[in-house]
Amino acid sequence: MKKTLAKIALSLIAMAAFVLAGFALTQPVSASAKTISYSKLHKVAKKQLGKPYGWGSVGPSRFDCSGFTKYVYKKGGSKSIPRTAQAQYNHYKHVSYKHIKKGDLVFFGGSKHSISHVGLYVGGGKMIDSQNRGVVTEKVHAPWWHAVGYARVANVK
């Protein structure tokens, strides 16, 4: 029983640390001058399809949502982005859904202050993300997601 309580306490502390790290980065920055190839990002993202979800995992064998987007941008665009979904949301310039482009990040949660999920927009109203079913392609506006915002990480062509 003590071991179970200790594991729960450690999990809660880790989750709080991720949330606080996201709040620490509140200054939005503009997109990088360097152009990143969408085809390279998409190729890296597609190679991860079917890999399992792992809370706190950053790849390459399993991913959580923000670990997945971080991995795709690092391997496909040589760009390092923040680790958590909240930190990614806080760090980049926001765009409206009307102006979303392939390669942008899509954020979900209760509000802009409680981002709990992120995916990579791939066009046609779809994204690739890592969630409880692993890395999948799904609709951005699926009934189980509450889209909060969209962000442009870089100039993606």
Q: Which residues are catalytic?
A: 65, 117, 129
Bridge partner list, 151: 94, 105
Q: Per DSSP, what are the bridge partners of residue 118?
A: 107
In which residue are the tokens 């179970």 written? 4
- Residue pair 103/121 in contact (Cβ under 8 Å)? The answer is yes
**130 close to 122: Cβ distance less than 8 angstroms:** no
- The Cα–Cα gap between 151 and 127 comes to 13
Q: Sign of the C-alpha dihedral, residues 126, 50, 103, 24?
A: positive
Helix (H, G, I), strand (E, B) or coil at 73: helix
